[in-house]
Structure formats: C-alpha cells, structure tokens
Chains A and B, each alone.
Chain A
Amino acid sequence: MNRIKIKSPLDLEKLRQAILAKTDSQKTHVAICAGTGCLALGAREVITAFKEELKKRGLENEVEIRETGCPGFCEKGTIVVSYPEGIYYLQVQPGDVQEIVEKTLVEKEIVERLLYTDPVTNEKAIPEDEIPFYKHQMRLLIGNNIKIDPKNIEDYIALGGYNAVAKALSEMTPVEVIEEIKRANLRGRGGGGFPAGRKWETTRNAPGEPKYVIVNCDEGDPGAFMDRALMEGNPHSVIEGLIIGAYATGSHDGFIYVREEYPLAVENTSIALEQAREYGLLGRDIMGSGFDFDVKIFRGAGAFVSGESSALMSSLEGKVGAPQPKYTHTSIKGLWNKPTNLNNVETWANVPLIINKGADWFTSIGTEESKGTKIFSLVGNVNNTGLVEVPMGITLREIIYNIGGGVRDNKKFKAVQTGGPSGGCIPESLIDTAVDFDELTKLGSMMGSGGMIVMDEDTCMVDVAKYFVDFLVDESCGRCVPCREGLERMSEILSDICEGKGKEGDIELLEELSEVMKDTSLCALGRTAPNPVLTTIHYFKDEYDAHIKEKKCPAHVCKVLIEYYIAGEKCTGCLACLKACPEGAITGEKEKVHVIATEKCSKCGICYETCKFDAVLIR
C-alpha cells in the first residue's frame, strides 16, 4: 500500500479519521488470537478453517478475520472473539469453526458450549468482561491486544496510536516529558523498580554523544511471557514509548533486544518498525518536529543472565553477554561507553499512556510508591493460568482467588512464589499482602519481572528452593566466586537435605552463605539468588527441620524420605497393585491384605495411582 508520510499531528489525525471512516464498527468481524500460545494449540488451523468456511459460503467480503496478539488466557486457546457483539469463545478447535460461522456469524446465535463456564456455578459468560479471569483485571496495556492486528499499523492508529508521540514532540520539551514521567512515578517493570524518569534524566544529562535507548525483551524467566505478549501483540505501543523516551533523553538510535526464542515477536516488531518508517513515524524529522530517530532490532542469545543491563549491552556490542565488573551506571556509560537508557518492554509500553492521559491519571492507580498496573504471569496449581494485568496494590488473594479461580483440584493453598527464579515464596498467612514493589521486597521476595507461581499443599518447600537454585546454577555466568561457587554449594546442601543426608548446622550454613552471596556478588543474579532459599527457610523452617532431623518430607515429595505402605483396614486384596508393581515389591493373596516390601520398592507411585480403595498410603 502506498503510505503517505505523516508530517504533522494534524496529518496523523486525518489518517486516523480516514481509517475510521473506512471501517464499519457494526460490521461482523472475528478476532482470532495468533499469539505463540494459541499457535501452539493450533490457532493457524483455526484461522485457515475460518477462511475456507467463509469462502465456501461466499462471505469472505462480509466478514473480516483479524489475527491478533495474545490476550493472556493462553491456557484456554485458541481464543476467538466475534464482533460487534464481543462473544468470547475459548478452546476453539478447527472442528468448531463451521458451527461458529453458521450459528454465530450467520444466524447471530451463540454456541454455548464454547463459552466460558464457571467451574463452580456452571454459569456461562458471553463477553470478555463477564469472564472472572478478565473481570477483575485492569487491562491498560494488554487489553488492546485482541483489538489489534500487530502486523497492521492502521489498527493501532485507529485506537489513538502515536497520539502520544504527536503530543510529546509538538507540545512538550524533552525536559517536560521527563518531568511528566517523574511525576507519574513510573518504576521499571524489568525487576528493579527503579524510577524511569530519574534514569532518563541521568542519561539526558550525562556527557557524551551519541546516546542510546534500548528495549529489554530478553525475558529469560521460565514461565514468564508478558513481554512476549506485548512485543508480539502490540509492538507499536512499545515503539511509541521508545520514541518518546529517545526524544526525552536526546537519543537518535534505539535498539530492541529480543531473545532468540521469540521469533514471532521479532517478526511482528520488524514489520511494525518497517510500517512506522513508511509513515514517517521513525526516521528523519518525525512528524515535522525536526527530531530524528530510528530503531534496530537485535536478537539476543537467550541466556537468562544476558537480560542484566551490562550483559545485554556487551552482547549488543558483539561480545559475550555476561555481566561486566563496572561501577559506573549504564545510564552514564553504557553501550560503547555512551550514555544509554535501558528499560523493560512493559515500562516502555506505559509511556504513551502517561503522556496521553497525564501523570495525575497514572498516579491515581496503585499504591503510594508503586503506580499503575503490572502484568503477572500466573501459573502453577491454580484454576485459571495466564497473563493477568492488575493495579498495583491488589492483594495476592484477589489475584489467586478472584482472577485465578482458586487452587486447582480443591487442594489447600500453601504458598505463592513471586519474582521469577530469584524471587521468594510467600506463605498463606501473608496472602492478604498488597502487591507492589516495596511490599514484596519487605517479605523477602520481589516483583521481579512478574512471575507468580501458585503452590498447593503437595509442594515440598525444600524441593522448591532446590528447583530454583538448580535453575540458577545453570544460568549463572560463572564469573564471580560467590555466585558460581555459592550456588553450587547451595544446591549440594539442598540435595543432601532432600535425600535425607541433611545435618545439624545446614540451615545456618545456608543462611551464612546467602548473606555473603547477597553482599558480594557481582551482578543482581547472584545478589538475589539466595531469595528462594532464605524465604523458604524463613517461612517454612519446620519443613527443613522435618527433613533434617526426622528424615521426613511432610509434603511427600522427596522420594528418599517417603515410604509407601498399605493400610490393612482398607485393602480389599484385589491384586490390582500387586500386578501393577514393576518391581514385584508387593506380596499378597486374593482377598487378603497386601504388603509392600519397602526394600524392594522403587517409589514409582504406580500402586498409589492404581488402588481404587485408597489403601496405598505414603508416610
């Protein structure tokens, strides 16, 4: 398509009117999530099926199909929303398409079985805002994903996109932009929660040219994908924030650092950059303001530690992506030793909102020191998993029960882990904590990038600590002694405890080691790595004690410490477990109580699963 360059804010407004004029909001159209999660569940086939079905019925010009980014409920993919009514279908398979087209698109009826059904009340929900998972969220950043085809800039512009750039460039000085961001108290969403405005100011005032701005989309947290969802689903919102940040800091070169494992994010972002360039939203003299700025995309190596600021910059310079032993902030001496402002994807995406609606609006959301919303990746033993965007200050309970729908299989809630691999575990007694940067830190955990793992009663907290420590052992760059040696020793001690070889003094040694790692590690990976260990010791000390002193695992997770046995009063002597046991460890006769020979048992748990009378027990 032939694009006209936007040379002024007025041009942008005209373009928006033109786009709105040619789209009929009452026309039937279908939004289908084509995010990574849904694609993995077969969204591509669903899309193809829709196109074929519409063609078959000669409706291809009547009904528009929009491939969108991820709205967050990936577990229930593929997500299909039929407009203008906004009927929200979940778990759509290619086989359901014919029915949707016939019933909903043609006859304007609802396909009940594809709607969200409340697991408790069995009530159906039709539009997005009736679905509990969405109802209790505040979706300022991620809410537009289902309304936008990320490969089409016009969808973004139609929703008011690039207004904030127009406003900043034509009505505000760079210093005014910084003041607005400072007043909004926007804090970094990449983990540290550092005030973005202050960082921008440091970069602006630091000596040296050129200056750089960077988007951090490394997202190495296992299980976290909010940055991917934004970068994939609404890349222009991030690019718009970046343009404003560049203007404010006096930078003309930007980078978007995307991890290798996010090919769709790379693809959509590249297309978005190209389209922004065609419209003159990037390049020379943006919107006639005289401000020049362009952006390159860079594919990172994908190690967890390369998301750390100095590691990321050294990777951009073409070196190994490992943390650098430097005490000068990257905002003063960063990429190629020039002043560099690095922010997380989500941080950047907040910027256009603040510029459009003002700092006063932004600060009306959230708590005293943490403003706005935060996207969490809610996973684990919880009914609804996915991306949830909530205002700061919401309690953990609200997230887990109202949005997450409570703990899976009616199990008891035990703990929630926040902050990614180096976050901490928060016990049930603190579930009414308001979630913000400082409260989580106070509890020994952190906001991190927004991972949130719900754990039920069947979770062993020593095992959890070991799981995260082992992840970090693999991800440590190995440069500095406390992190490399310390993590390995932690893992060693925790393994011993889980295997019944724990000794008196182990807990104290873990604590001592933790303090030193926090105090002396070179980068934040090592400095935060002890959090999972310290919080589990702090909140679940009795569980450590049970492992060490009684050689028992109360949650029945640590294999070496458990024993399968058959409860005589329940056993009917059905022979089922006896036949199922791969080790031949069970003896017994028909209708007589069976017995497990512990020394032969490999603790595979098959008998436990097999017994219909719950006679096989663990102790």
Chain B
Amino acid sequence: MKKMTINGIVAQVEDYWTVLEACRFYGIDIPTLCHHEGLSPGGICRLCIVEIGKGKRAKLVTSCNYPVEDGLVVRTHSERVIRARKMLVELLLARCPGSKTLQDLAAKMGVQRVRFKVKNENCILCGLCVRMCAEQMDAKAISFAGHGINRRVTPPFDIKSDVCRNCGACMYICPVCQLRCQGPEPPNVVCGACMNVEPVCLQDNEDVMCYLDTCGWCFKVKPSSLKKSGYGKEKIEEG
C-alpha cells in the first residue's frame, strides 16, 4: 500500500494503481476520453490531467498513466486543471462536434463556446479502437498512419484487412461512432441540450450534490455559487 493525498484527503492506495485508479476508488470523477479499464493507457486526450507537486514545481500530469507514489500530492480539480481541460474539450469539439460523448463532456464542464473553425471530422484519434482491436480482439486490423495533422486510423495499406472479423468492437468503443449528436449547428457548435435534465439537487438547494463534481444543473439557477470553480463561466458572462 502507498499513502498519498488527493484533494486534501489522505488516501491509501494499491502499489500498482495509477493516479486515475486511485482517484476513482475514492469516488472522484476525472474525465477521460482515451482511457478504458481493459486497455493499456493511451496518454492521448490529456483530459485526465491532474496537478501534482507544490508551488513553483507544481505540474500537470495525465492520471491515467501516472503511477501512484508515496507522499504524492494530487489536486484533481484545481483552477489550472479545469482551465486546461476546458481548452482541450474546446479543441476536440471544434474537430468533431458530432460526438455526443464530447457534447456531454462540454455540457458538464461548462464549455459554452468554440472559438476555432469547425472541422466536422469523424474521429478524435483517441486510439481506443486501435488498442481494442489489438489488445482485446487480438487482430491488429487497424492502426494509426501518418503523423501530425495527417494522422488517421486505417487498416494497413488502406485496404480492409483480412484479419478483421467484423466484430464491431472498434465501433462499440468509439466515442464518436457510438453516439452521434444531432444537436448543434454552426455557428453555435456547442449544443448543451443534454443539460436540460430534471434537477437532481434538492428542490431549493438546501444541499447540493456536487461536492464531488458538478452535474451542470445548478448554474442555471444559481450561477454565483459556481463562480469560483470556473465551471459555467461563459454561461455566466453571457447572462
């Protein structure tokens, strides 16, 4: 067992855990996109970042592949973390606004605008399908090709591979293929429709449910309470 601090809570964690596993064990929600329990870590989306260390030496690391260590001090929702996560979601959303997974994340994190030109790609290059195919289906029918902005997922030589068994695992795991979002139309790339769920908090906010993570409902009702967290900031600005 190792002993570390997560958001001020002293945590006892298994030696072989990642910081993400430790946080989830303690019920702290950290958004991820390229991570899946059954697959090796991808380190691609960077959404799972947390802040470690203190003062000037504090830095952001990806929790999905950062091994736990004794005495580690982790903050999962610091201002710096939130700011970075929101920018990452904004970048991804500009690339791929048709993903419901991304729209939900945006809604939840209060990403209210996309300041980049919209691309409407069908893939965020999270690599889940590639790892799923190789690690769980033992097929390696698809892989990454190209580098930089030309990076894409494709079968070898762009021809359907004969090791592909049409199992559909790649589509099952894909955050873009699996759920499409019909909501948004440019210029407002962010739909936010999914937020219109019935409030789960107590009727008149005698208590709140968001001591671990915000559900997004409350800033419609009581924006001032959220000012500090950075959530829903744009919403507040836009009135």
Decide if B2 is an interface residue (CB 8 Å cutoff): no
- Which residues of B (45-85) have their CB < 8 Å from a CB of A? 45-46, 49, 59-62, 65-67, 80, 83-84
Count chain A CB atoms within 10 A of each CB in B44, B46, B49, B88 and give the residue with the most. B46
CA distance A516 to B43 in the complex (A): 15
Task: Of the listed stretches B143-151, B202-210, B223-231, name the one at the interface; the rest are far from the partner chain.
Answer: B143-151
Whether the pair A485, B91 counts as a contact (CB closer than 8 A) is yes
Q: Which residue of B lies closest to A520 (CB)?
A: B46
Main secondary structure of the interface of A (DSSP, over half): helix
- Per-residue B-contact encoding for A82-110, CB less than 8 Å = 1, 0 else: 00000000000000000000000000000
Residues of B within 8 A of A509 (CB): 115
- Per-residue A-contact encoding for B125-164, CB less than 8 Å = 1, 0 else: 1000000000000000000001111110000000000000
CB-based A-B contact count at 8 angstroms: 94
Residues of B within 8 A of A480 (CB): 43-46
Partner of B148, one of A325, A328, A477, A505: A477
CA distance A514 to B154 in the complex (A): 31
Residues of B within 8 A of A521 (CB): 46
Interface size on B, residues (CB 8 A): 34
Residues of B within 8 A of A489 (CB): 91, 94, 116
Residues of A within 8 A of B42 (CB): 325
Decide if A479 is an interface residue (CB 8 Å cutoff): yes
Partner of A473, one of B67, B84, B87, B149: B149
Decide if A374 is an interface residue (CB 8 Å cutoff): no
Whether the pair A482, B151 counts as a contact (CB closer than 8 A) is no
Decide if A448 is an interface residue (CB 8 Å cutoff): no
Whether the pair B44, A481 counts as a contact (CB closer than 8 A) is yes
Whether the pair B148, A485 counts as a contact (CB closer than 8 A) is no
CA distance A482 to B148 in the complex (A): 11
Whether the pair B149, A488 counts as a contact (CB closer than 8 A) is yes
Whether the pair A519, B151 counts as a contact (CB closer than 8 A) is no
Nearest CB on A from B149, distance (A): 5
Whether the pair B60, A475 counts as a contact (CB closer than 8 A) is no
- Which residues of A (505-534) have their CB < 8 Å from a CB of B? 505, 509, 512-513, 515-516, 519-522
Nearest CB on A from B58, distance (A): 10
Decide if A383 is an interface residue (CB 8 Å cutoff): no
CA distance A473 to B149 in the complex (A): 7
Whether the pair A512, B94 counts as a contact (CB closer than 8 A) is no
Residues of B within 8 A of A505 (CB): 115
Residues of B within 8 A of A36 (CB): none
Whether the pair B147, A522 counts as a contact (CB closer than 8 A) is no
Whether the pair B147, A303 counts as a contact (CB closer than 8 A) is yes
Nearest CB on A from B161, distance (A): 18
Partner of B149, one of A305, A484, A513: A484
- Which residues of A (468-515) have their CB < 8 Å from a CB of B? 473-482, 484-489, 492, 505, 509, 512-513, 515
CA distance A489 to B117 in the complex (A): 8
Q: Which residue of B lies closest to A503 (CB)?
A: B115
Nearest CB on A from B41, distance (A): 6
Nearest CB on B from A562, distance (A): 25
Residues of A within 8 A of B88 (CB): 481-482, 516, 520
Q: Which residue of B lies closest to A328 (CB)?
A: B67
Q: Which residue of B lies closest to A509 (CB)?
A: B115
Q: Which residue of B lies closest to A482 (CB)?
A: B46
Interface size on A, residues (CB 8 A): 34
Q: Which residue of B lies closest to A472 (CB)?
A: B148
Whether the pair A484, B125 counts as a contact (CB closer than 8 A) is yes
Q: Which residue of A lies closest to B60 (CB)?
A: A519
CA distance A474 to B91 in the complex (A): 18
Residues of A within 8 A of B106 (CB): none
Nearest CB on B from A39, distance (A): 31
Residues of A within 8 A of B49 (CB): 519-520
Nearest CB on B from A197, distance (A): 21
Whether the pair B116, A492 counts as a contact (CB closer than 8 A) is yes
Decide if B176 is an interface residue (CB 8 Å cutoff): no
CA distance A473 to B147 in the complex (A): 10
Whether the pair A479, B151 counts as a contact (CB closer than 8 A) is yes
Decide if B3 is an interface residue (CB 8 Å cutoff): no
Decide if B180 is an interface residue (CB 8 Å cutoff): no
Nearest CB on A from B195, distance (A): 23
CA distance A515 to B84 in the complex (A): 8
Decide if B92 is an interface residue (CB 8 Å cutoff): yes
Nearest CB on A from B121, distance (A): 10
Count chain A CB atoms within 10 A of each CB in B42, B44, B49, B92 and give the residue with the most. B44
Known contacts A481-B91, A485-B92, A485-B95; is A476 also within 8 Å of B83 by CB? no
Residues of A within 8 A of B150 (CB): 478
Decide if A57 is an interface residue (CB 8 Å cutoff): no
CA distance A512 to B67 in the complex (A): 29
Count chain A CB atoms within 10 A of each CB in B43, B59, B65, B151 and give the residue with the most. B43
Q: Which residue of B lies closest to A521 (CB)?
A: B46
Nearest CB on B from A309, distance (A): 15
Residues of A within 8 A of B83 (CB): 512, 515-516
Count chain B CB atoms within 10 A of each CB in A326, A475, A480, A512 and give the residue with the most. A480
Whether the pair A481, B149 counts as a contact (CB closer than 8 A) is no
Nearest CB on B from A513, distance (A): 7
Known contacts A480-B43, A516-B88; is A326 also within 8 Å of B65 by CB? yes
Q: Which residue of B lies closest to A485 (CB)?
A: B91
CA distance A512 to B62 in the complex (A): 20
Residues of B within 8 A of A486 (CB): 91
Known contacts A327-B66, A489-B91; is A484 also within 8 Å of B151 by CB? yes
Q: Which residue of A lies closest to B149 (CB)?
A: A488
Residues of B within 8 A of A515 (CB): 83-84
Known contacts A516-B83, A522-B43; is A484 also within 8 Å of B148 by CB? yes
- Which residues of A (303-340) have their CB < 8 Å from a CB of B? 303, 305, 322, 325-328
Nearest CB on B from A524, distance (A): 13
Q: Which residue of A lies closest to B86 (CB)?
A: A516
Count chain B CB atoms within 10 A of each CB in A475, A487, A512 and give the residue with the most. A512
CA distance A477 to B44 in the complex (A): 11
Known contacts A478-B150, A481-B91, A516-B88; is A522 also within 8 Å of B66 by CB? no
Residues of A within 8 A of B59 (CB): 519
CA distance A520 to B47 in the complex (A): 9
CA distance A512 to B146 in the complex (A): 28
CA distance A492 to B115 in the complex (A): 12
Whether the pair B146, A478 counts as a contact (CB closer than 8 A) is yes
Residues of A within 8 A of B94 (CB): 485, 489
Q: Which residue of B lies closest to A476 (CB)?
A: B148
Q: Which residues of A contact B (CB under 8 A)?
A: 303, 305, 322, 325-328, 473-482, 484-489, 492, 505, 509, 512-513, 515-516, 519-522
Q: List 10 A-B contacts (CB under 8 A).
A: A303-B147, A327-B66, A480-B46, A481-B45, A485-B92, A489-B116, A512-B87, A516-B88, A519-B59, A522-B43
Given contacts A484-B149, A520-B49, 11 further A-B contacts (CB under 8 A): A325-B65, A474-B148, A481-B92, A482-B46, A488-B149, A512-B83, A516-B83, A516-B84, A519-B59, A520-B84, A520-B88
In order of increasing CB-CB distance, the 3 nearest A-B pairs are A325-B43, A478-B151, A485-B91
Q: Which residues of B contact A (CB under 8 A)?
A: 41-46, 49, 59-62, 65-67, 80, 83-84, 87-88, 91-92, 94-95, 115-117, 124-125, 146-151
